[in-house]
Structure 1
Amino acid sequence: MIKLRGHHIFCLLGYRGMGYSEEYTANMTNIHDELRERPDTFIQIMKGPDYLCAKFPEGQPYHCEDDGIYVRDSEILHKLGLKVSDVLPWREVERRIRVHVVPEDIAVVCETCSWRSYGFCQEGVTGIVDSRGLRDVLLEKHTSQNNSPS
């Protein structure tokens, strides 16, 4: 079972292999791949720091306990009809996203997120709404490396 806070559900939708540090990115890639490859994996909704926050690098401003982050968690859980301590398979989270979320919600719910400007999370919502699931991050990295200018 993977323990996730509300806003990390949306972060996983837009994840493209970038993060705050190598350790953080490796952890997020592992969790993302687990959910993509095995959508029946159970997640538990947490209040506050979760499995992703656990690898947030020392020496950087730790925003995992910021009031604004808790507000974002709450807004996303409300939108998905979830509450803290709920346990459900990732497949059900994706179903709820298809029913209750549109890509434009990212601009509102995640307005202050520094990652929002990349547009990845809106693309991720679109992928879920279109029933494509989570993207294959390792395949994308491999493809973009092979297509990079020499």
Structure 2
Amino acid sequence: MTIRLRAHHLLCLLTYVGKGYSPAFTANYDRVAERLSRGEDVLLVSGPDDVCAPLLDEPEPHCLNESVVERDRLAAQDVEELLAQSIRVGASLDLDAAILARMRQAFSAGRVRKACGSCEWNELCSTIAAGGYSDTLVHRSASPGKG
């Protein structure tokens, strides 16, 4: 299967430790983290994705806000530059161990953080990065073909 992600969630997954907007959101994100860790491919989408799904039942889901669309644009620019590959809607991405390590190193160094400036989770993510990502839920094996 394929996981549908919007661009800024490529950054969020780096520091995801099981905290979120609601119990339903967190339970869903835990499942997405498991799937990513097993090696499922990512399909980049515009707008709400597999992570956002539980928020769509809210009266005014923030995932539809223009500020979130801008966050996607900034994240796509940063990640595309870092990985030297297309981070556009419709592109596929295999988040293997090497790519995750590279993205986490760049995140810790502040090189892929433009999208994070106005995010309410920014401080938590900074703390997790400073702690070496030890409690994060998205992991990949370094072995080829293993997730």
User: For the superposition of Structure 1 and Structure 2, which TM-score range results when normalised by the shorter chain?
Assistant: 0.7 to 0.9
For residues 19 and 69 of structure 1, the distance between their equivalents in structure 2, rounded to whole angstroms, comes to 16
For residues 130 and 28 of structure 2, the distance between their equivalents in structure 1, rounded to whole angstroms, comes to 19
**RMSD across aligned C-alpha pairs, in angstroms?**
2.9
8 Å contact kept, 2:18–2:137: no
**Displacement after TM superposition at 1:18 (Å):** 1.1
Work out whether 1:88 is the aligned partner of 2:87. no
For residues 93 and 115 of structure 2, the distance between their equivalents in structure 1, rounded to whole angstroms, comes to 22
Could you tell me which residue of structure 1 aligns to residue 145 of structure 2? Answer: none
For residues 89 and 67 of structure 1, the distance between their equivalents in structure 2, rounded to whole angstroms, comes to 28
Please tell me the residue identity of whatever aligns with 1:110. Answer: C
**Displacement after TM superposition at 1:136 (Å):** 3.8
2:103 to 88, 97, 101: 97
For residues 95 and 17 of structure 1, the distance between their equivalents in structure 2, rounded to whole angstroms, comes to 19
Please tell me the residue identity of whatever aligns with 1:89. Answer: D
Name the % identity.
27
TM-score by length of 2: 0.72
Indicate how the Cα distance of structure 1 residues 94 and 27 shifts in structure 2: closer, same or farther if over 3 A, else same: same
**Displacement after TM superposition at 1:118 (Å):** 1.6
**Displacement after TM superposition at 1:25 (Å):** 0.6
Greater mean alpha carbon deviation, residues 41-50 or residues 54-63: 54-63
4+ runs deviating over 3 angstroms: 57-61, 105-108, 119-122, 124-127
Could you tell me which residue of structure 2 aligns to residue 72 of structure 1? Answer: 71
Aligned pairs, how many? 129
**Displacement after TM superposition at 1:126 (Å):** 5.3
Greater mean alpha carbon deviation, residues 12-21 or residues 89-98: 89-98
Question: In the TM superposition, what whole-angstrom CA distance separates every residue of 1:79-111 from its partner, at most 9, and x where no partner exists?
Answer: 121111101212175266268x34224654311
Could you tell me which residue of structure 2 aligns to residue 44 of structure 1? Answer: 43
8 Å contact kept, 2:6–2:46: yes
TM-score by length of 1: 0.71
Question: In the TM superposition, what whole-angstrom CA distance separates every residue of 1:41-72 from its partner, at most 9, and x where no partner exists?
Answer: 10100111101111116446411111111111
Which structure shows the bigger proportion of residues in helix conformation?
1
Could you tell me which residue of structure 2 aligns to residue 34 of structure 1? Answer: 35
For residues 8 and 85 of structure 1, the distance between their equivalents in structure 2, rounded to whole angstroms, comes to 15
Question: In the TM superposition, what whole-angstrom CA distance separates every residue of 1:109-134 from its partner, at most 9, and x where no partner exists?
Answer: 3111011122357618954xxxx8x8
